[in-house]
Amino acid sequence: MPGQLQTYIRITANNMSTPGSNQNPTQHKITLFLASASPRRLALLTQINVTAQQLIVTAPEGEDEPRHPNESVIEYVKRTTDDKMSRAQAYLNSLEHCAIITADTTVALGQVILAKPKDRQDAIRMLSLLSSKTHDVYTAVDLYFKGQTTRALSHSQVSFETMTIEQIEQYVDTDEPFGKAGAYAIQGMAAQHVQRLEGSYSGVMGLPLHETAQLLRSAGLMR
């Protein structure tokens, strides 16, 4: 908790050390788990000098969880992130001396969720819907540490230019849309069609760094 960790602590997958002081021999090592199969989220954590061990736990429903009746987009992304945390905690043999980060990203046009495309035609359908429109991207983040889970939510808006069917098909044929919410990767070739972004670029990628760093600092895990 913040009152117990007053100095900067760098979490790595193998050690916990406090710069400028000798490590207490009785102090346990902390492992930070990123419960996500996404290489983008892992790279984003590395960008802010946080090293994590990737933990891949398959959801029983498959890649995208079903939406509950009358569930709003925000409620959905918060719940799916909490569900990922519950699965990660159940998967680990022990929750002692570890911290866990989970995140989920949802792309929505109004209250219509655009999940990961099932096939080529589904990707074309989604990108055709997003063409010339502004859509919402929500990424929820959970941090578990010392028996408590803290949460954050990032909301961004992305505006696409009008894309021709030829441009959409050309992009889909690169295979980049697959495995991505909304059928696009803002850090990839889709960036050429983005007219405007309001919010968090890293949040649209899958892990909002500002909100994630705030969670780590509030837990006493970053300076």
**Which residue is associated with the tokens 């987009």?**
73
Q: Which residues contact 157 (CB under 8 A, 6 or more apart)?
A: 134, 135, 136, 137, 196, 197, 198, 199
Structure tokens at 112: 């219509």
User: Residue 186's CB: how many other CB atoms inside 10 A?
Assistant: 20
Do 143 and 216 touch, CB atoms closer than 8 A? Answer: yes
Closest CA to 217 of 169, 157, 150: 150
Closest CA to 52 of 18, 2, 5, 14: 14
Q: Which residues does the annotation mark as catalytic? A: 104
Closest CA to 218 of 142, 156, 134: 142
